[in-house]
Amino acid sequence: MRLATRPAFLLFVLLAGGAEAADNPFLFDALQGRSPYRGAWERLMKLVQPTPDWLVQFNKNFDGVVGQMTPVTIDGKPYQLSFVCKPTDCDSHKFAVLFDAQGAHAFGALGGKDNSPAFFGAPSPAEEEAMAKAIK
């Protein structure tokens, strides 16, 4: 009886994990097509100057090392937080992106574990703090 229960439990865990992953797409998934996230991302990227080579490369086809879109609440407002990083040095070269709930506006932070972030899109101090934590 125990052996039959374990596979069923494992199947449940795998299916539940898959459902969670579907609810929280990765950044490259959110940027595909004509989504609001894509428009906000493109407007944000115009502000990131100078743009590191690895981020320029990611912008060409959205292929790179990214995180899942994670729901966060800042000052009572819902956001989606994710990141993209340099494939060979993720800890030191990371770009965090914070989208508003509708994906219409984005803020960014470029930095890494050993340097202070540069912020883009005029985030509030609380939004800056959330992104700074994401790139450390």
Integer Cα distance of 121 and 65 in angstroms: 22
**Taking the domains of the chain in order of start, what are their residue ranges?**
25-135
Topology adopted by domain 25-135: Inhibitor of vertebrate lysozyme, Ivy (3.40.1420)
Q: What is the pTM of this model?
A: 0.82
Integer Cα distance of 110 and 1 in angstroms: 53
Looking from the CA of 99 toward its CB, the CA atoms found within 13 Å total: 24
pLDDT tens column, 25-75 = 999 999 998 889 999 999 999 999 999 999 999 999 999 999 999 999 999
Q: Dig out the tokens for 120 from the structure.
A: 């883009």
Q: Are 81 and 122 in contact (CB under 8 A)?
A: no
Looking from the CA of 127 toward its CB, the CA atoms found within 13 Å total: 23
Predicted confidence band at 85 (pLDDT cuts at 50, 70, 90)? very high
